[in-house]
Amino acid sequence: MASTKTSTAPTARREAPHSRLVFPLRTWAQALGFLRRNPFSPRRFQAGINRSPEVMELLIANIGAPWVPPALVTLLAAERVSELRNRVLEAIAQSPAAAVQAVLAVGIGRGAGYLVGALRADGRVIPLGSLRLIGPGLPEFAIGARPGIVPWRLAATPQENEVWSRSMGALGGERAWRRLSSLRTIVIGCGRSGSLAAAALARLGVRRLTLVDPDRLEAHNLG
């Protein structure tokens, strides 16, 4: 009697949906201002949930919408980049296992510009994938497992647009200029070439500029 073999096709691995926080730009700016003034006081928001196979969005609102189960989003602050991940994990561990909750830690002070986040949903804890701001250009910034550098103010003010419009155009847009202006830059050697380089960086909008030179300023350095 011939034997028959049954083969089963390998089951496709189910990938976790991309997770995204969606903030109105004004609410995000207000939250950052609050954290700067109150670095040890978490700020909490209710959020609606938009689920799909590809993405789970938490839509930030200050009131619960009746047509979606509310989720909780907690914003924390830390002055050291090394503290951001620990604060996120501590807050997630204290949340109910059945609840949908996201925690986003924001760097302030020396850690300004860094974000670390995680989402608890369906009994699992996964890294937050991105932050989207509802405002001009709908900017979206990756978070992931590693800190992602995000400028504090994402939209240029009218004064900045007036002063830096040519630099933005030369660099390829406001986003590139914002990234450049948020960098910490060091110029070593402030003689003829170094001083010209420092002046050019300042004209491009670099604001955190450190100049290093052990020499004294003399007339022949200026020509």
Residue pLDDT tens, the chain, 223 long: 444 444 454 444 455 678 888 988 888 888 888 888 888 888 888 888 888 888 888 888 754 444 455 788 999 988 887 888 888 888 888 877 667 889 998 887 777 777 888 888 877 888 888 888 887 667 777 775 444 444 444 445 566 677 777 887 777 777 677 777 767 789 998 887 888 898 888 888 887 788 898 887 777 766 6
How does pLDDT run across 51-69, given as a tens digit for each residue? 888 888 888 875 444 445 5
Domain harbouring 182, CATH code: 3.50.50.80
Domain harbouring 22, CATH code: 3.40.140
Calpha distance 126→117 (Å, rounded): 9
**Element at 84 (helix H, strand E):** helix 81-93
Q: Which of 149, 167, 188 is the last residue of a domain?
A: 149
Backbone angles phi, psi at 48, to 5 degrees: -80, 160
27, 34, 111, 122, 124 from 96: Cα distances, Å: 26, 26, 29, 11, 11
Q: Which domain holds residue 68?
A: 18-149
